[in-house]
Amino acid sequence: MKPKRNSYEWYIPKGILKRNWMKKHLKEVPAVVAIFYDLDWDDPEWPEKKIECTSRVQSIRAALEGRHTRLGVVLIQHKAPAVAGEDVLAVDRAAALCAAADINPKCLFVLPHVDHLQGYVLRLENALYEMAQGYYQQEIRHVKSHREFLNKTTHQYLFVRHQYKMAFLNELKHDNRNSHVHYSTSYSNLLELRVNDTNSLEVKTVAGYINYKVCRLLFVLNQPRDAISQFRSFIENFRSRSGPPELIFQHHAWLAKQYCLFGELFEEAIRGGLPAVQTMHPGYYYELAARHAADRKAASLVLCQGVERYPANDPLAGLDSLEFYGQRPWRAGNLSAQPPDPIREMEGFVALQYNERHHINHSAIIISLLGNAITQYKNYRCPRMRRHLAIQMADEYYSSKDYGKALTLLTHMLWDYRAERWDSLISSLLTKALSCAYLTASVREYIDLSLEASAYFPTERQERLFDNLLSVIQGCSPEPDVEEDQDVTAARALWASKCATLSTLSHTVDMTNISTCVDCKARLVQESCTTVDIQVLVRCRFVKPVQFTRLTVCVNSPALSSEFAMCDSASDSPKLLFSPGEVKSFLCQITPDPADAGKEIQIGSILLEL
């Protein structure tokens, strides 16, 4: 334990907030130590056990020397307690034990191990809680006593630090209102600091901690509008403080983290009962976090693309053992007014750029944030925003070369956009989905997407698409699209292995909700008849002549459903040969089942085989 400072006259702080201080009060230094000891008032070995109990107390006190930790002794007894004041032996021995152990009589407790134990435990819990409250109040007074020694000229960091400490101690004390007051004061003092490239990361790091605490407490105090207002003000204050331009990706990473944390706070408050609305919910903050994560990725691609070697003299050594939050390890503890060593500074920048390029999975970060946002938009019934973000997620999967997941997302989104008939969006999605299907050698998906894309793509692309479609049907590999320049070699190998089984492939494409280059209409020629005449009109809009192999109509009746061949290439080959834009009419006559007399017959589907 370091000695306490009695004067700040010549002291200039080297940082704002020490990394070990919160950990110390959360995990290392206890507010209360309760020593449990098995001892009855009339124990025959009372003298020896009193000495042993006293020894334990003194041992704990010695270990906590210099701390304000409260000590309590809890005697576990096996006899029912007497009425207070009537047991003279208990009174005398309690006083003797307190004197020997040098503890306040109010810190000596008895826990009878008898019936109604829960009531005694609750009273003990409340007593220990009050002792903890007293400890934190004493710590707050101790921090507050330093204020009279500070001045705004050299101790600006300490004004931030001490207010933060008092806020944190009040938070541990469960005094949320006073905690909020001190956090807000600490934040106001932080805004008065002079910020430059040397200390911008440290100031932003501490500002992020304080803002998180302020927003969290405002949600706890049921002031959500104030929490949102505080966060917006915080972002406006620090959005432009980007730091060195060589490390702009760190600024985007910091902004993404702030939006994500606020989204988590908002979501936690909603789970606690806070109502949210469609126009204001955590999804907006997760989405903005994803945007900044994408900006981080874009900046790193530009700034870090030429960084292939890590500096020999490691400038990031000691990163995990820094004394203050947010400082650079190659100039830890330096005052912000001191000019940095330009050579060492550049080595540090290169090391950070190297780590950003080689050790950060940007796509995983973006996809995770988009997933959180999509969940929220789905919960609050914002389908178009959900689809918009799902497309962004598919793009990110594609960028990270996870083409299978990208294809799954794109095919799901195509169903939604078909319903709204957004042709330009469908065309764009089909381009990316076809690329994914090719790169993963997904035969069925490639056929489905090729048929649909033939209705949306321009003529020159339709020709290439048609040739590829026929190649796949004939058991050959398709050629990659001109825009597909990644992993083509691996895709060719995948297609080669798939082609061996393509000859046995039988795949049915449901064209009900898909616009393609084949249009079909069917009708019953007469409403009432003894023999049923069915007319089918087929228009083919492929850019090249195409030979179909079979045309079948499926008729549904109350008795059964049957398929009837209207045209078969074995006997009617010319009839199923279509030129671009050609329309042909086919007739079929069937005799219905006598059991269906007077009942309704429907055309269930038309099957056109290629």
Among candidates 535, 534, 538, which has minimal Cα distance to 550? 538
- Phi, psi dihedrals of residue 11, rounded to the nearest 5°: -95, 130
> 240 and 301 in one domain?
yes
- What is the side-by-side strand order in the sheet with 108-112? 32-38, 70-77, 108-112
Residue 572's pLDDT is 61
- Residue 109: helix, strand or coil by DSSP? strand
Residue 525's pLDDT is 81
Among 440, 469, 500, which residue terminates a domain?
Answer: 500
Q: Is residue 14 assigned to a domain?
A: no
Range of 449's domain? Answer: 424-500
What pTM was estimated for this model as a whole? 0.87
> 528 and 472 in one domain?
no
Q: Is residue 522 assigned to a domain?
A: yes
Q: Is residue 176 assigned to a domain?
A: no
If one counts the domains in the chain, the total is 4
- Cα distance between residue 451 and residue 469, in whole Å: 8
Residue 85's pLDDT is 60
Residue 337's pLDDT is 62
> 522 and 492 in one domain?
no
Q: Is residue 190 assigned to a domain?
A: no
549-607 pLDDT tens trace: 888 888 887 766 778 777 776 566 678 888 888 888 888 887 777 776 777 778 888 88
> 555 and 484 in one domain?
no
Give the contacts of 577 (CB within 8 A, at least 6 positions apart). Answer: 545, 546, 547, 548
> 239 and 375 in one domain?
yes
Neighbours of 323 (CB within 10 A): 13
Q: Is residue 180 assigned to a domain?
A: no
- Cα distance between residue 585 and residue 587, in whole Å: 7
- Cα distance between residue 49 and residue 387, in whole Å: 72
Among 93, 110, 137, which residue terminates a domain?
Answer: 137
Q: Is residue 82 assigned to a domain?
A: yes
Domain holding 556: CATH number?
2.60.40.10
> 557 and 469 in one domain?
no
> 492 and 577 in one domain?
no
Q: Is residue 153 assigned to a domain?
A: no
> 372 and 436 in one domain?
no
> 531 and 451 in one domain?
no
Q: Is residue 181 assigned to a domain?
A: no
> 529 and 491 in one domain?
no
Q: Is 189 exposed, middle or buried (0-12, 13-18, 19+ CB in 10 A)?
A: buried
451-470 pLDDT tens trace: 888 888 888 888 888 888 88
Which residue positions in the chain have pLDDT lower than 50? none
> 366 and 236 in one domain?
yes
> 524 and 462 in one domain?
no
133-161 pLDDT tens trace: 999 999 999 999 887 777 777 888 999 99
